[in-house]
Amino acid sequence: MLEMGAAQPWQDALEVVANSREMDATAVLDYFAPLKVWLDEQNKGRDCGWE
């Protein structure tokens, strides 16, 4: 994949490596799901964000 460098679009390189031209963050979200549950519990009742 790295050998292809900038000579090919990144979607073509992804297809060579992953056998698909599409990707999503499902695996990352699944991995961090327990952390998100814990953080949601820790932040319950708090106003988080920009104001």
At 17, the amino acid letter reads V
Distance from C-alpha of 22 to C-alpha of 14, rounded to nearest angstrom: 8
**Mean of pLDDT values over 2-7:** 80
Confidence label for 5 from pLDDT (cuts 50, 70 and 90): confident
**What pLDDT was estimated at residue 23?**
86
Q: Is the pLDDT of residue 51 over 70?
A: no
Q: What's this model's pTM, rounded to 2 decimal places?
A: 0.55
Distance CA 18, CA 21 (A): 8
Q: What is the pLDDT of residues 13-44, one digit of tens each?
A: 889 988 999 888 999 999 999 999 999 999 99
Check if the beta carbon of residue 32 is closer than 8 Å to that of residue 39.
no
Amino acid identity of 38?
Answer: W
- What single DSSP character describes residue 6? G
Identify the three-state secondary structure at position 27: helix
